[in-house]
Amino acid sequence: MSQTPTLNAESVTPVLSSYSDLPFYRKQIRIALKNCGIIDPKKIDEYIARDGYRALARALTELSPDDVITIIKDSGLRGRGGAGFATGIKWEFCRRSRATPKYVICNADEGDPGAFMDRSILEGDPHSLVEGMTIAAYAIGAREGYVYCRAEYPLAIAHLKMAITQANEYGLLGENILGTGFSFDLHIKEGAGAFVCGEETALMASIEGRRGEPRPRPPFPAASGLWRKPSNVNNVKSYAMTPQIVLKGAEWFSSIGAPKSPGTAIFALTGKINNTGLIEVPMGIRLREIIYDIGGGIPDGKTFKAVQTGGPLGGCLPASALDTAVDFDSLVEAGATMGSGGMIVVDEDTCMVEFARYFLTFASAESCGKCVPCRIGGQRLLEALSRITEGNGTPLDLDEIDYISNNMKEASLCALGQLTPGPVLASLRFFREEFEAHIYEKRCPAKVCKGLITYSIIAEKCEGCMVCIRNCSTDAITGSKRQPHVIDVERCSRCGICATVCKFDAVRVE
Partner 1 sequence: MTRLENAEGLTRLRDTLQKKPRTEKPGLPVISIGMGTCGLAAGAGETYHAIQEELEKHNLEAVIRSVGCIGICVLEPLVDIQLAGQPRITYANVKPSHVPRLIEEHILKGQVVHEWVVGFVPPDW
Pair 151, 157: CB distance under 8 Å: yes
C-beta of 151 vs 155, nearer to partner 1? 155
Radius of gyration of the chain (CA): 26
Closest to partner 1 by CB, 29 or 415: 29
Name residue 463's amino acid. Answer: E
Tell the smallest beta-carbon distance from residue 108 to partner 1 (Å): 14
Cβ-based nearer residue to partner 1, 38 or 192: 38
The minimum distance between CB 39 and partner 1, in angstroms, equals 7
Residues 6+ apart with CB under 8 A from 291: 273, 297, 298, 304, 307, 322, 345
Q: Quick one: 354 exposed, middle or buried, by C-beta within 10 A (0-12, 13-18, 19+)?
A: buried
Q: How far is the CB of 271 from partner 1 (least distance, A)?
A: 12
Q: How far is the CB of 310 from partner 1 (least distance, A)?
A: 20
Min dist. Cβ of residue 327 to partner 1 (A): 21
Alpha carbon distance 347, 291 (integer Å): 12
Residue length of the chain: 510
CA–CA separation, 244 vs 47, rounded Å? Answer: 13
Could you count the other beta carbons within 10 Å of the beta carbon of residue 276? Answer: 15
* Measured CA angle at 211 (ends 206, 217), to 5 deg: 70
Distance in Å, CB of 25 to partner 1, minimum: 7
Residue 59 CB, nearest distance to partner 1 (Å)? 10
Burial of 435 (0-12, 13-18, 19+ CB in 10 A): buried
**Shortest Cβ 477–partner 1 spacing (Å):** 35
Contact (CB, 8 A) for 505 and 453: no
Phi-psi region of 84 (alpha: psi -120 to 50; beta: other; left: phi over 0): left
Q: Does residue 41 have a cis peptide bond before it, meaning omega lies within 30 degrees of 0?
A: no
We find the least distance from the C-beta atom of residue 132 to partner 1, in angstroms, to be: 16
Q: Which is nearer to partner 1, 25 or 93 (CB)?
A: 25
**CB nearer partner 1, residue 175 or residue 510:** 175
Nearer to partner 1 (CB atom), residue 49 or residue 458: 49
Nearer to partner 1, 40 or 251 (CB): 40
Q: How far is the CB of 159 from partner 1 (least distance, A)?
A: 8
DSSP 321: G
Cα–chain-centroid distance for residue 333? 19
What end-to-end distance do the CA atoms of the chain give, in Å? Answer: 67
Say if CB 459 and CB 362 are below 8 A apart. no
Shortest gap between Cβ of 168 and partner 1 (angstroms)? 9
Contact residues for partner 1, defined by CB under 8 A: 1-8, 11-12, 15-22, 24-25, 28, 30, 33, 36-42, 45-46, 48-49, 51-54, 57-58, 60-61, 116, 119-120, 123-125, 153, 155-156, 166, 169-172, 178-180, 274-280
Which CB, 24 or 403, lies closer to partner 1? 24
Residue spans of beta strands (DSSP E) within 44-196: 103-108, 144-150, 185-191
Tell me how far, at minimum, the Cβ of 268 lies from partner 1, in Å.
9
Task: Give the Cα separation of 156 and 108 in Å (integer).
Answer: 10
Q: CA 11, 12, 17: angle at the middle one, nearest 5?
A: 135
Cα–Cα distance, 492 to 476 (Å, whole number): 5
Task: Spell 90-101 as b/e; 16+ CB within 10 A means b.
Answer: bbbbbbebeeee
Cross-strand partners of 346: 306
Rounded distance between C-alpha atoms, residue 408 and residue 420, angstroms: 8
Q: How far apart are CA 125 and CA 42, in angstroms?
A: 9
Q: How far is CA 151 from the centre of its chain?
A: 17
Q: Which CB atom, from 33 or from 449, has the smaller least distance to partner 1?
A: 33
| Minimum distance of partner 1 from residue 165's CB (angstroms) | 10
